[in-house]
Chains A and B, each alone.
Chain A
Amino acid sequence: MIGEAIAFYLLAAAMLGFGVVVVTSPNIVHSAVALVPVFLGVTGLYILLNAEFVAGIQVLIYAGAITVLILFVIMLTVGGTGLRIPERNEQGPIGFAVAAALAAMLAIGVTHTAWGRGGGALPAYTPGAIGQSFLGPNLLVFEGTSVVLLVSLIGAIIIARKEE
């Protein structure tokens, strides 16, 4: 249990630290690269939460695909020309205040709620259970998600296509 606590706090510190870099760095590439530790931190959290399959998917998709995608787009837009865009707009202070207020409210609300505990236990081999669930009770979600993937695939291609 103590190990769990140490792991949690390390991961939390890493996530929050690099998260701050993501949102405040003047260099967009730094921001994009700092996303990776954040995602890996989330992955670690999933593993702590006995969600191994989700953790694996998180690494594959987020830290893999999405981060690369972001870097590619940076390269194809500003990165290629080396342009430096000012990163902060005029809402800086009040944006900070709103975000902080939001966090405070959520935190206070969460700590003052008595969360119940449902019955049952997590299965030992979660990927199997997830698979069973996707082809069982959650089949519609599964199929729907695949449709959305198809649509967004086609859409992204069409939007990003060069005009002839």
Chain B
Amino acid sequence: MTQVAWIIPLLPLAAFVALVFWGDRLPGRGAFVSIAGIVLAGLAGIKVLLEVLGGARADLTYQWVMLGSKPLTVGFVVDPLSAVMLAMVGIVASLITIYSVGYMSGDPRFARFFAYLSLFQCSMLFLVLADNFLFIYAGWELVGLCSYLLIGFWFERPTAARAAVKAFITTRVGDFSLMIGILILFLHTGTLAFAEVFKGIEAGQIGGPLLTAAAVLVFGGAVGKSAQIPLHVWLPDAMEGPTPVSALIHAATMVAAGVYLVARTYPLFLLSTGHQALWVVAYIGGLTALVAATMGVVEDDIKRVLAYSTMSQLGYMIMGLGVLGYTAGMFHLITHAFFKALLFLGAGSVIHAVATNNMKEMGGLARAMPVTFWTFLVATLALTGIPPFSGFFSKDAILLAAYSQDKLLWGIGTIGAFITALYMGRLLWYTFAGSFRGGAGAGGHDASAHLHESPAVMTVPLVILAACTVVLGFLEHPFERLVHFEGVEAPASNSGLLLLSVLVAVAGWAAAGAIYRWRIIPSTLLRTQFRTLYTLLVHKYYVDDLYGWVFLKAGGVVVWAAGAFDRYIVDGLVNATGWIAGQMGLFLRYLQTGREENYLLLIFLSVVVIVLVRFVR
């Protein structure tokens, strides 16, 4: 399987083509075809992973065109990094696709949803298998396109349409940065294949500030795609899309592509002078981890809290890669994919039952939806880093690496962990504990009697994901043996730090319980006491407003100027040409009067002029 791994993206692609042309007429209105495509791809991915565990590798390259004198080689690479990504994407995407059958049932554009899902799956798998910048950029753009299509799936909603455009444009800024980085590398090494580029860098074809700049520009793409500061503004708005989309794209896979990119191009960062590029990566990651967590504390929309959580966890992954925690970052990516997908699917299940996203209108759902509640609890404990769930192992690996490199980043990470536990606890208490606060029905009847668990097609994936979340934590050491970078060693374990992390997490839970569950410290009191902080957080540090003011207003000026230029100068030139022709006509018509005396005058005048000219010469 490893040698023909390039077939894996083609399976969901075939599903996409079938769904586009025959859509509703396929069995199950297209869902079965889509599920078949991704499940087959997932099984193939698992097979590849098993083979790679046994030592198989594949490096398939083709010469595509001749650029000048050097050929452009493109191809696919199957190594531990791509193998774990293949398996993860395959499993998580399969479960989410199955879940979508229940969640999207009754939607008028059902088949199109699965078509888009299949296209996305193809793009993501293609991205993961790429062994050169060209393919990874192609996959990058394709997943961006699918993200736009899926966020704006319910395009009748203006907020959804705007969110889709915002996502696309913001990630476009990152994509542009990535492209410039790729071009710089290509200019100096003459090739786009990863291995060749890294060899070129080691041979000294590019170095110093230019290499650092190229690395940071490539990281810029990751900043956009993984919603790091300052290109983070699109991810909360992207929650306008259907929940399976949020789970698949904006939690497990597409946003992870940025982390994957950094891991894939790790030599770029390692070889930059004094690891400058790595410090940029680490600090942006750490900053995002902390700031996103703070913004999640004041959100009332359940999906947005999870979005900020995703942003924060991505920050952890990026920070992990930045502090030489290559394995730690990747491990957290894998575990996060599972429990974040689980969290989103669980939120989707909740939304499906209560028909609202607002946590303040939920409550008491633990009794009404037990499967959802227990799986959600497992995921939340994993996310906040409570052992023995997977999140504990992966997050602490990152904090360990941070501690050994930069204590400040470790401190930021630890504070972030506290706040993570705080907002996740808040989410859990609000949604599942207490009594149901929502659904004010006419005549005051108890709306909670209508709450029920979601159908099996939605709950079974939840259970499977929860099982993975529990199991994965214990696979840390095999993972380390499989996925590691030459010359980058994981730091030795420090049980004191581990204990401290657990205490911090528990403290966060306790604080959440004190404020939101048992009302020991009422949240309203906190809100008035820390009013400026609260306002700042609710307005997301005014970043959206800043961007709107700077770019949209400034852009508006540019647009107006361009329009005026087109109307007055370009059109004016064209109109002027016509006007000149008209005027010349008005002037020249006097040459043809029809009267011989005028013609004779012209003849004699011409003779005079010719002789004069001859004389003047």
**Are A and B close enough to touch in the complex, i.e. CB under 8 Å?**
yes
Is A155 an interface residue when CB atoms closer than 8 A count as contact?
Answer: no
Cα A101 to Cα B608 with chains together (Å): 7
Which residues of B in the span 568-607 have a Cβ within 8 Å of any Cβ on A? 597-598, 601, 604-605, 607
- Enumerate chain B residues within 8 angstroms of A109, measured Cβ to Cβ: 611
Cα A94 to Cα B608 with chains together (Å): 12
- Enumerate chain A residues within 8 angstroms of B612, measured Cβ to Cβ: 101, 105
- Enumerate chain A residues within 8 angstroms of B611, measured Cβ to Cβ: 105, 109
Which residues of A in the span 86-120 have a Cβ within 8 Å of any Cβ on B? 89, 91, 94-95, 98-99, 101-102, 105, 109
Contact A89 B607 (CB under 8 A): no
Contact B597 A89 (CB under 8 A): yes
Q: Which of A94, A98, A102 has the most B CB atoms < 10 Å from its CB?
A: A98
Contact A102 B607 (CB under 8 A): yes
Contact B605 A91 (CB under 8 A): no
Contact B597 A94 (CB under 8 A): no
Contact A94 B607 (CB under 8 A): no
Which residues of A in the span 37-94 have a Cβ within 8 Å of any Cβ on B? 89, 91, 94
- Enumerate chain B residues within 8 angstroms of A91, measured Cβ to Cβ: 597-598, 601
Cα A94 to Cα B602 with chains together (Å): 11
Contact A98 B598 (CB under 8 A): no
- Enumerate chain A residues within 8 angstroms of B597, measured Cβ to Cβ: 89, 91
Cα A154 to Cα B503 with chains together (Å): 135
User: Measured between C-beta atoms, what is the minimum distance from A104 to chain B in Å?
Assistant: 9
Q: Which secondary structure characterizes the binding site on chain A?
A: helix
Cα A64 to Cα B605 with chains together (Å): 34
Chain B residue nearest to A100 (CB atoms) is B608
- Enumerate chain B residues within 8 angstroms of A98, measured Cβ to Cβ: 601, 604-605, 608
Chain B residue nearest to A89 (CB atoms) is B597
Chain B residue nearest to A105 (CB atoms) is B611
User: Measured between C-beta atoms, what is the minimum distance from B575 to chain A in Å?
Assistant: 35
- Enumerate chain A residues within 8 angstroms of B604, measured Cβ to Cβ: 98-99, 102
Cα A125 to Cα B88 with chains together (Å): 131
Cα A102 to Cα B598 with chains together (Å): 17
Cα A95 to Cα B608 with chains together (Å): 12
Cα A95 to Cα B598 with chains together (Å): 10
Cα A105 to Cα B614 with chains together (Å): 11
Chain B residue nearest to A109 (CB atoms) is B611
User: Measured between C-beta atoms, what is the minimum distance from A62 to chain B in Å?
Assistant: 23
User: Measured between C-beta atoms, what is the minimum distance from B608 to chain A in Å?
Assistant: 5
Cα A95 to Cα B600 with chains together (Å): 10
The answer, among B601, B607, B615, for a CB contact under 8 Å with A95, is: B601
- Enumerate chain B residues within 8 angstroms of A89, measured Cβ to Cβ: 597
Cα A14 to Cα B601 with chains together (Å): 28
Chain B residue nearest to A101 (CB atoms) is B608
Cα A98 to Cα B610 with chains together (Å): 13
User: Measured between C-beta atoms, what is the minimum distance from A84 to chain B in Å?
Assistant: 20
- Enumerate chain A residues within 8 angstroms of B607, measured Cβ to Cβ: 102
Cα A91 to Cα B615 with chains together (Å): 26
Cα A102 to Cα B607 with chains together (Å): 8
Q: Which of A89, A105, A109 has the most B CB atoms < 10 Å from its CB?
A: A105
- Enumerate chain A residues within 8 angstroms of B598, measured Cβ to Cβ: 91
Chain B residue nearest to A106 (CB atoms) is B611
Chain B residue nearest to A108 (CB atoms) is B615
- Enumerate chain B residues within 8 angstroms of A95, measured Cβ to Cβ: 601
Cα A89 to Cα B611 with chains together (Å): 26
User: Measured between C-beta atoms, what is the minimum distance from A115 to chain B in Å?
Assistant: 19
Cα A89 to Cα B598 with chains together (Å): 10
Chain A residue nearest to B601 (CB atoms) is A91
Contact B608 A105 (CB under 8 A): yes
Cα A64 to Cα B607 with chains together (Å): 34
User: Measured between C-beta atoms, what is the minimum distance from A98 to chain B in Å?
Assistant: 5
Chain A residue nearest to B605 (CB atoms) is A98
- Enumerate chain A residues within 8 angstroms of B608, measured Cβ to Cβ: 98, 101-102, 105
Chain A residue nearest to B609 (CB atoms) is A101
Cα A101 to Cα B612 with chains together (Å): 9
User: Measured between C-beta atoms, what is the minimum distance from B331 to chain A in Å?
Assistant: 99
Cα A89 to Cα B612 with chains together (Å): 26
User: Measured between C-beta atoms, what is the minimum distance from A97 to chain B in Å?
Assistant: 9
The 8 closest A-B pairs by CB, nearest first: A101-B608, A98-B604, A105-B611, A98-B605, A91-B601, A91-B597, A98-B608, A102-B608
Interchain residue pairs with CB less than 8 A apart (20): A91-B597, A91-B598, A91-B601, A94-B601, A94-B605, A95-B601, A98-B601, A98-B604, A98-B605, A98-B608, A99-B604, A101-B608, A102-B604, A102-B607, A102-B608, A105-B608, A105-B611, A105-B612, A105-B615, A109-B611
Other A-B contacts than A91-B597, A94-B605, A101-B608, 8 sampled, CB-CB below 8 A, are A89-B597, A91-B601, A98-B601, A98-B604, A105-B608, A105-B611, A105-B615, A109-B611
